[in-house]
Amino acid sequence: MGAGFKVSSFSSEHFFLLHKSVVQSVLNCSLCSLFFLFFFTGMEGDSDLQFLLQGGDLLKVLSPSWKKTRYFRLMEDCKTIWRESKRTFKDSQTFSLDDISSVRLGRQSEGLRKNTEDQVEGRCFSIMFKSRRKNLDLIASSEEEAKQWFNSLQKVLSNRNNLNIHWISSCLRKADKNKDDKMTQSELKNFLRLINIKVDDDYAEMLFQKCDKSKSGHLSGEEIEHFYDLLTHREEIDVIYGAYAKTTGFMSSQNLVDFLKKEQREKATLADAHNIIQKHEPDENAKEKKLLSKDGFLIYMHYPETLVLKPDHREVYQDMSQPLNRYFISSSHNTYLMEDQLSGPSSTEAYVRALLKSCRCVELDVWDGSDNEPVIYHGYTLTSKILFRDAIKSIKEYAFKTSDYPVILSLENHCSVEQQEVMAHHLSSILGSALVTSPLGEGMPTDFPSPEELKGKFLIKGKRLNKLEASFAPEAAEADDADVTEEDESNNEDEDEQKEDEKRKLAKELSGMVVYCKSVHFHSFEDARQNLSFYEMSSFKEQKALALAEESANSFIRHNVDKLSRIYPAGSRTDSSNYNPVPLWNAGCQLVALNFQTTCTDMDVNQGRFLVNGKSGYILKPAFLRDVDTEFDPITLTRGDWLKHKTLHVLVVSAQQLPKMNNKKFSFVDPLVKVQVYGVPADVAERQTVAVENNGFNPAWNESFQFDVYVPDLALVRFTIEDHDSTSGNEFIGQYTLPFNSLNMGYRQVPLLNKNGDVLSSAGLFVHIMVLDAE
């Protein structure tokens, strides 16, 4: 692949179809209309779109007393919402549709429930954002208008997500300074700057002259189409296509089968090739002859089946009928916090965000509140408080939106008996039959039920007055278990606080709700083996857990074959930072709890671990972590079934449309790619490419790396793109992490996620992956 002008194409079938069927007619329109049509083909006369473009007044809600009228509308670029402020000297504000995570109709946000009355329920809706930005709570003038806003926003968001088209047309419109639907050489240079590619004057002039066939000094009509062709050209795709297109410049069905088998390592048949051609080929004549054109191949190479993640791993593909403790379970710490644990806000929205990310174990730190209503906050700090009942309501509403599998409510109980009884009432009345309050089946259980058996259910993790066995022997006296909670003991800097907790009693109503996750102290592996029942579990502060995982790894693994273990961040992490979860997974720990509100590499890795299996929040542990007699030790790596030495070959080919990470007018991205392997210590490795200077639009590397992976069942692979800066450190652009065993071989597109874990809709990385048995 040369260093010529080769650029990314758009990540959508619809856009490529436009290239052949719509572009010519669009060229007769203004550049603004070109942008409009590219984004909303099929919606030009849509009433919902027209409603948003016209906009209207809405009541913005910040508090019970602060409700102000603001005018909202969708701007002509069809990707920005504009809000007019009524305040003197106050700038109007905008936000992008890309920043919206969801729109909720009714009083579904914490703010609307707190700041409005029941009678305005039908007139309310909220716009929820992906980042830490506060929700936008709004009230329309009527229920019909609220539904119109909700439906219109839903439709436009859905259209954008499906089309997944980038900002090239917007930049083209911005570059046309005088709005004459023509591009001068100066405007062309400005356009290239807008799309994040730097070229010298000679190259810019050469490109312009190549397109200016009329020698008029500007580009218009077909010349813009030629310019479009240059922009959407991908030389790397041309090379791949050319190697297999053996039938008069086309790929025959057999050519396509050869490509799928040799390059993609897929078990492909002629029938598979025919289906691909039928689905992706835009040229009807070629389709009729069962041929795949270059455009059709390009469309196919951007479809989900060609992503780096195996298609079948996107669905639930693992056995979900095994006991609960045989799974890694996505877990959150201090789930109620939106920011740090000293003075940050607590919010029910934090539970919603964690649950929508398929978190299956959420934490509730519960304290006595006023009016006999328990509250949740980080005790003895300045974090704000939320009502326990409101948290449970939000959890019930969003628990099973992403995953159907069970949610564990980890109670850190600091309440008086009286308010514990209120807690029990709220849990029972709000969660109803979904709350597990007695063992499944008949008689005393000897093992955990499976995630499959617990679908749609809630489990309580907390203290219990007696053994579960006592509920099957009524004559047995209930023991008064005065133990403090695990985290109180681990963080007992304040002896008075510890003594107070030791005196605290447990309400029978709340105790009876703890069935499969009874919290107990950990003394030693030997003590646990001899004295603890399967359902009695311990929580470990990260330092203690990491020490056990390093010094007594096999004992920890065997402990986790029978019991559940929860790990949580040290109390000294006042900024709610995280720790590396990988060593704890290597030791078989199921509930490795992280601060979901904190963006960092550790959370990226956690998201990668639970990316697969239908984002169910449950990942079946490898067989050697489920065997009571296992000899596996991730530190020493003795011989065993876990050793499956593989060689991973990664060719980093190119990237497309990387965003600038700062808004400086004349800044350009100097991207480099890091490929990292996480897993047992012997597998941990990192390689990186050189930086490509001044090109975030279509950088090409063509660099190869090789990794030895000894325990692939525990390994993850992480692709990261950074903006190189030799003076102040590299700046993160995007990443994608996935399990090693979920890698799709061959030429693959790697989607990129931003620091919040959301998809960068137009950016991508192009790689070639090969996994071979090591010799």
CA distance 488 to 490: 6
Strand-pair category, 327-329 with 80-84: unpaired
DSSP H or E run through 9: none
CB burial of 555-584 (b: ≥16 within 10 Å; e: otherwise) equals bbbbbbbbbbbbbbbeeebeebebbbbbbb
**532: its two tokens:** 């603890």
Does the annotation place 60 within a ligand binding site?
Answer: no
Does the annotation place 730 within a ligand binding site?
Answer: no
Does the annotation place 229 within a ligand binding site?
Answer: no
Pick the catalytic residue from 333, 426, 559, 768: 333
Cβ-contact 578, 595 below 8 angstroms:
yes
Give the helix ranges, DSSP H, for 453-520: 486-490, 495-503, 508-511
Give, in order, the Cα–Cα distances in Å from 150 to each of 85, 122, 146: 22, 11, 6
Pick the catalytic residue from 19, 166, 378, 414: 378
378 is catalytic: yes
Does the annotation place 334 within a ligand binding site?
Answer: yes
Tell me if residue 456 falls in helix, strand or coil.
Answer: coil
Does the annotation place 70 within a ligand binding site?
Answer: no
Residues 6+ apart with CB under 8 A from 130: 99, 100, 101, 756, 758
**610: its two tokens:** 């639970």
426 is catalytic: no
CA distance 593 to 568: 5
Does the annotation place 363 within a ligand binding site?
Answer: yes
Does the annotation place 181 within a ligand binding site?
Answer: no
Does the annotation place 551 within a ligand binding site?
Answer: no
Does the annotation place 371 within a ligand binding site?
Answer: no
Q: Shortest CA distance to 595 belongs to which of 339, 329, 229, 236?
A: 339
Does the annotation place 201 within a ligand binding site?
Answer: no
Tell me if residue 733 falls in helix, strand or coil.
Answer: strand
DSSP states of 204-258 as a string?
A: HHHHHHHH-TT-SSSB-THHHHHHHHHHT--HHHHHHHHHH--BTTBEEHHHHHH
Cα 718 to its chain centre, rounded Å, is 14
Does the annotation place 725 within a ligand binding site?
Answer: yes
Cβ-contact 103, 127 below 8 angstroms:
yes
The answer to whether the Cα torsion of 663, 665, 669, 670 is positive or negative is negative
Angle of the 13-21 helix axis to the 143-163 helix axis, nearest 10: 80
Does the annotation place 566 within a ligand binding site?
Answer: yes
Q: What is the CA radius of gyration of the chain?
A: 29
Give the residue numbers annotated as catalytic, written as ranges: 333, 378
**Annotated binding residues, as ranges?**
334, 363, 365, 412, 461, 463, 539, 566, 670, 694, 723, 725
**Annotated binding residues for substrate, as ranges?**
461, 463, 539, 566
**Annotated binding residues for Ca(2+), as ranges?**
334, 363, 365, 412, 670, 694, 723, 725
